[in-house]
Amino acid sequence: MRFLPDGKVDGSILAKRVFPYLGSLQDEILVGPNVGIDAAVIDISKLSGMMVVSQDPITGAGKNAGFHVVNVCANDVASMGAKPMFFLSTIIMPKGATDDDLEEISKDIERAAKEIGVSIVGGHTEVSGKVSDLILSGTMIGFSDRYVSTSGAREGDDILLTKGAGIEGTAILAETKSEYLSKYLDLNLIEKAKGLLNKISVVKEALIASSLGANAMHDPTEGGVLGGLHEIADASNKGFEFYEDKVHLYSETKSICNILGINPFGLISSGALLVISPKEKTNSIIESLLKEKIEVSIIGKVTKEKRSHERISQDELWRILDTKL
């Protein structure tokens, strides 16, 4: 173990601590990460005609940050109906970071990349006195022959939700507020809640729903399921009915939200996917998802008129993280 000096991390360290962890390699990569190579070259001649790109940072998500950044970027790409394929990550570590820390981050990025079949093709790694915690910034590139967006919802469409509300928020709260929660909850339940992070990928369900004709999709992140519903409705210039009691909540989510006084529908929800389905396609989408063991329920309907539902101005997570418990 050694401390890394300020500035761009040296190629000899990257070769040992980063380049061995590049996820699922793919044939299209003509030039991948290497010392002295500043850009990746990818053969796109056999890929579908539409490229979908998303960029997102993770600012201090603790020890799962690498896993997290790959998944949030992949979810954005898959929610447009494209298969995530190539990932670039910029890793900015605070002073005092070691080569062991860097390898942990690389392994964490690779774990997520392998689960969804993505290659890491480039990025940048440095130590900077300008950050007090790990800052990751990722870019995911995917390909598809059609796309769905948040703006495609039509009157009468069903609104489906996979897995459950508040998955990501539940895991983050279990991690950051575990001491307080352990006064009220069983430790097993808190550990199970942390484990919900492993459910945050929506790539599989997004590609199924898109291939079966979803009109719009959205992975509800900040602002939770309610925020996601509003984003779809606003982008599509429609309203929605919301069947609160139909939304699945994991028991860990219920317990933690109860104790912290949190509305689970306004809690950051990566891991759940909102699918806007034409009525005639709803059954086949639900059947295909259940066949893949992905829970799903109908939680609402798209309406012509805009209706007044509660708007979430700030994610419940930030409200609670700022509260001294």
Residues forming the site for its own copies (CB under 8 A): 6-8, 30-31, 34-45, 47, 49-57, 59-60, 76-77, 79-80, 82, 86, 88-90, 92, 121-124, 126, 128-133, 135, 137, 139, 141, 147, 149-150, 218-219, 222, 231-232, 234-235, 314-315, 318
- Residue 291: CB minimum distance to its own copies, A: 27
Which pair of structure tokens corresponds to residue 225?
A: 């399921």
Contact status, residue 153 vs residue 253, Cβ threshold 8 Å? no
**Closer of 7 and 156 to its own copies (Cβ):** 7
Give the nearer residue to its own copies in terms of CB position, either 88 or 299: 88
CB 37, CB 31: distance < 8 Å? yes
Taking the complex as a whole, the smallest distance from the CB of residue 295 to its own copies amounts, in Å, to 23
Is 14 within 8 Å of 111 (Cβ atoms)?
no
Residue 153 phi/psi, 5° resolution? -65, 135
For the four alpha carbons of 214, 160, 169 and 316, in that order, the dihedral sign comes to: positive
* Choice between 54 and 277, CB closer to its own copies: 54
Q: Min. distance of Cβ 133 from its own copies in angstroms?
A: 4
How far apart CA 101 and CA 124 sit, in angstroms, is: 15
Query: Which of 166, 117, 163, 173 minimizes the C-alpha distance to 140?
Result: 117
Could you tell me which residues come within 8 angstroms of residue 130 by beta carbon, excluding any fewer than 6 positions away?
none
Q: Which is nearer to its own copies, 49 or 96 (CB)?
A: 49
Taking the complex as a whole, the smallest distance from the CB of residue 95 to its own copies amounts, in Å, to: 11
Smallest distance, its own copies to C-beta of residue 149, A: 6
Burial (0-12, 13-18, 19+ Cβ within 10 Å), 126:
middle
Q: Which is nearer to its own copies, 43 or 191 (CB)?
A: 43
CB closer to its own copies out of 138 and 164: 138
Minimum separation from the CB atom of position 105 to its own copies (A): 15
Q: How many CB atoms lie within 10 A of CB 219?
A: 26
C-beta closer to its own copies: residue 122 or 300: 122
Going across the sheet that includes 274-277, the strands are 216-218, 274-277, 158-162, 296-303, 239-242
When the beta carbons of 135 and 272 are compared against its own copies, the nearer one is: 135
To the nearest whole angstrom, how small is the minimum distance from the Cβ of residue 310 to its own copies?
Answer: 17
Q: Output the smallest distance, CB 124 to its own copies, in A.
A: 5
For residue 242, give the nearest of 174, 147, 307 by alpha carbon. 307
Taking the complex as a whole, the smallest distance from the CB of residue 121 to its own copies amounts, in Å, to: 7
Q: Which residue has the tokens 């040992």?
A: 16
Q: Which is nearer to its own copies, 165 or 233 (CB)?
A: 233
Q: What angle do CA 279, 243, 193 make, to 5 degrees?
A: 110
Tell me how far apart the alpha carbons of residues 182 and 101 are, in angstroms, rounded to a whole number: 28
**Gap between the Cα atoms of 110 and 98, Å rounded:** 19
